[in-house]
Structure 1
Amino acid sequence: MTEKKEGGIGDFTRQDLRKATKFVEGDYNGINPRSFYRKLKRAVEEIQDPRGFKYQTEGTQAADLSIESEDVGQKTGTVKGRLKADSDWLEVGDGELEYRPYGPHGAASIVAGIVMLVLGISGAGILWTILGLAGVGGGIYGYTRRETDTFPIIQQDVIRVLITGEVSERTTEGEHETRTDIFANMSVVFSGDVFVAVDTGGLEELEWTFRREIVNQVKRWHNQVVESEREELQIEEGFIWQLKGLGDRDVKEHRGVIEGAQSVLIRDAPFEYRVAYTDLLEEQLTPEMQENLRTHETELMAELEELAEDVDVYVEREGLQHTSRLEGSSGDPNPQLNSE
């Protein structure tokens, strides 16, 4: 399960990122790690799509970039950093779900018909018997009738970056001053994932009987993903659940249940839960929509490659300037080898 440092983003490893939908690796040498982190964050924030700037980044140098000395007095150490970026949720397609559009009405009609039938048999008159038979027959028809409707599915792109490497501190004696700076040789993994979820924004446009079925289906998917029984949600089904439906039409309540179940699988979830839930929802899409999603994943891979190349160009340019500044002994001294 993903851990989260206080004030920082969730912890993830190189192995975690290699399980992502797409990933790119790169090695960068001879650069100040703090400058590198600032450039990396800025490069992610500058990625655009037709709607404008695409990502909102999460991560700060104070909480998510660690530079530690190996031993007291030594001028070598390690560097480790993380960065995460999320795009907005966008509609990717529709899923299909079978439901009983008149299930609650049919259940109520069956109950009412049975009551009238009992009254008729008990001597209340043939009319009650006829009404009872009609109520039961009509109720059974309504209760057993099934239809199929669609619900919107949305997608989000997530980029995660892991920086690991070695850092060294160098001091150069100049004509007028002594300058100290730090260099790092870093290995960086850029990963990208496409996640999907049920859109709750337009639930009020759906039939309330269909919304109830969506609520139950999201609960079923939730229980398929979670790892322990105590995390599972209670699911009501059958005749009594349909009968209760006459008093269960509140769209806000339906939205709250869906968002609550999905938050455990998406927003506040271990990364493995997000991937498993995404796989389940992708199965609901048509083959054409699934192909569009594959195309989108290819575009995400191109973003990662362009990001890695952009950072590589920066390192080549700034790394040379960095060395030149040290040799020329110009500029202000940099802080010592620590993460503060």
Structure 2
Amino acid sequence: MAGSMIDFNRQGLRKATKFVEGDYSGINPRRFYRTLKRSLEEIQEGNDFKYQTTGSQESDLEIKSEDVGQNTGVVKGRLLAESDWYIVGDGNLEYRPYGPHGALAIVIGLFFLLLGIGDAVWGIVGILLIVAGGYGYWQTESGEFAISRQDVIRVLMTGEVSERTVDTEQESRTDIFANMSVVYAGDAFVAVETTEIDELKWTLRRELVSQVKRWHNQIVDSEQEQLTVEGGFTWHLKAWANRDLESDRHEIDSVQSKLLTGPFEYRLNYTDRLEKQLSDEMQQQLAGHEEELMVELEELAEDLDIFVEREGLEHTNRVEQRQNTDTPQVEGRKDSL
């Protein structure tokens, strides 16, 4: 679809955390799409509307005639709804809180040790700094960082359409009707929350930047997408040259954006890795939330069922009224799909 901002297929939707399918007959696909979009935008969480939608009839609803001059064709439509990000808990990450301090102490100790070649006092100071620096360098502890969640609903419409023309003495009107299969898929994604990294120790923050890069490299498909991940003694020593908070925030956001806006499988894999950093209790809460997402999908499908039933009844009534008031039919204009 030219100009479309969203792209997914039926097989991909069936891999979602939760999905619901529905079949609809005799419905105008354009009206169905508008109703679906409105229903998504009216879903509430608390006192606020939950989702922002991406998709329009112009770019994401495609109706094609099968052959020139024929009154049948195919329809395909896509719609995406995304919630805001909400903090759900803390992940755990092992890091070296005194890695840069220890590395610097070791370097200074080596310098003093060289000075101590001719002076025992300097040599003793150098040895003490090296020992203390080594101890600090190898110390590890577990730190916490915030993880946030976003809910995403994707909807795919596929089916066949046909034209029916009803002629009255006032006009000749052509209606489009479709027999469609619709898949409603929902996923709950997680990501590192960067709005709160200013509360982290700067050494933990730097380790988090590297860890996000490592997760990225484990997920992406090609070598061209791989990022350079620094580590080791030299990396800890260079920390003293750059401890800028905004630089670390920007780097995490930049790496995550490649995963969150790339292929949908990247988002799923990234979520799987981050969920493992959550406590067992938080993982259970997230699983419970996925059940709530399933309820949203079922209610959305039910809303569309009601709409289709109502539209079918209204259409039947309109046709009967027209047939009762029709004069003998004359050849009318038939709009193309």
TM-score where L is the length of structure 2: 0.94
Is it true that 1:270 corresponds to 2:285 in the alignment?
Answer: no
Moved more, 309-318 or 66-75: 66-75
Deviations along 1:301-338, whole A, 9 cap, x unmatched? 000000000000011001211232234339xx998242
Q: How far is 1:51 from its partner? A: 4.6
Is it true that 1:71 corresponds to 2:63 in the alignment?
Answer: no
Query: Quick one: structure 1 residues 105 and 6, their matched pair in 2 at CA, closer, same or farther if it must change by over 3 Å?
Result: farther
Is it true that 1:242 corresponds to 2:242 in the alignment?
Answer: no
Is it true that 1:111 corresponds to 2:110 in the alignment?
Answer: no
CA distance in 2 between partners of 1:184 and 1:26 (Å): 13
Deviations along 1:89-138, whole A, 9 cap, x unmatched? 001111111111111111011010111011111x1x22211211121122
Deviations along 1:241-300, whole A, 9 cap, x unmatched? 11011112101111111111111111x210111111111111111111111011000000
Query: Is the 1:182–1:337 contact (alpha carbons within 8 Å) kept by the matching residues of 2?
Result: no
Is it true that 1:200 corresponds to 2:199 in the alignment?
Answer: no
Specify which of 154, 161, 174 is matched with residue 180 of structure 1: 174
* Residue in structure 1 matched with residue 328 of structure 2 by the alignment: none
Q: How far is 1:146 from its partner? A: 1.3
What does 1:93-242 align with in structure 2 at a 5 Å threshold? 93-121=89-117, 123=118, 125-242=119-236
Query: Quick one: structure 1 residues 137 and 32, their matched pair in 2 at CA, closer, same or farther if it must change by over 3 Å?
Result: same
Deviations along 1:128-157, whole A, 9 cap, x unmatched? 112111211221121111111100011100
Moved more, 316-325 or 199-208: 316-325
CA distance in 2 between partners of 1:336 and 1:186 (Å): 21
Q: How far is 1:170 from its partner? A: 0.6
Amino acid at match of 1:314: F
Query: Is the 1:181–1:334 contact (alpha carbons within 8 Å) kept by the matching residues of 2?
Result: no
Query: Is the 2:60–2:78 contact (alpha carbons within 8 Å) kept by the matching residues of 1?
Result: yes
Amino acid at match of 1:32: N
Is it true that 1:57 corresponds to 2:53 in the alignment?
Answer: yes
**Which SS does the other structure have where 1:216 is aligned?**
helix
Query: Is the 1:84–1:159 contact (alpha carbons within 8 Å) kept by the matching residues of 2?
Result: yes
Query: Is the 2:165–2:334 contact (alpha carbons within 8 Å) kept by the matching residues of 1?
Result: no
* Residue in structure 1 matched with residue 327 of structure 2 by the alignment: none
Query: Is the 2:5–2:55 contact (alpha carbons within 8 Å) kept by the matching residues of 1?
Result: yes
Query: Is the 2:66–2:73 contact (alpha carbons within 8 Å) kept by the matching residues of 1?
Result: yes
* Residue in structure 2 matched with residue 336 of structure 1 by the alignment: 335
Q: How far is 1:158 from its partner? A: 0.4
Query: Is the 2:197–2:249 contact (alpha carbons within 8 Å) kept by the matching residues of 1?
Result: yes
Q: How far is 1:219 from its partner? A: 0.7
Query: Is the 2:172–2:333 contact (alpha carbons within 8 Å) kept by the matching residues of 1?
Result: no
CA distance in 2 between partners of 1:218 and 1:334 (Å): 61
Query: Is the 2:6–2:55 contact (alpha carbons within 8 Å) kept by the matching residues of 1?
Result: no
**Which SS does the other structure have where 1:236 is aligned?**
coil
CA distance in 1 between partners of 2:109 and 2:51 (Å): 58
Structure 1's unaligned 5+ residue stretches are none
Query: Quick one: structure 1 residues 80 and 249, their matched pair in 2 at CA, closer, same or farther if it must change by over 3 Å?
Result: same
CA distance in 1 between partners of 2:178 and 2:83 (Å): 30
Percentage of matched positions with identical amino acids: 61
Amino acid at match of 1:288: E
* Residue in structure 2 matched with residue 80 of structure 1 by the alignment: 76
TM-score where L is the length of structure 1: 0.93
Is it true that 1:285 corresponds to 2:278 in the alignment?
Answer: yes
Amino acid at match of 1:203: I
**Which SS does the other structure have where 2:195 is aligned?**
coil
* Residue in structure 2 matched with residue 41 of structure 1 by the alignment: 37
Query: Quick one: structure 1 residues 308 and 225, their matched pair in 2 at CA, closer, same or farther if it must change by over 3 Å?
Result: same
CA distance in 1 between partners of 2:191 and 2:38 (Å): 28
Q: Displaced runs of 4+ in structure 1, greater than 6 A?
A: none
- CA-based RMSD of the aligned residues comes to 1.6
CA distance in 2 between partners of 1:187 and 1:66 (Å): 15
Query: Is the 1:67–1:337 contact (alpha carbons within 8 Å) kept by the matching residues of 2?
Result: no
Query: Quick one: structure 1 residues 130 and 89, their matched pair in 2 at CA, closer, same or farther if it must change by over 3 Å?
Result: same
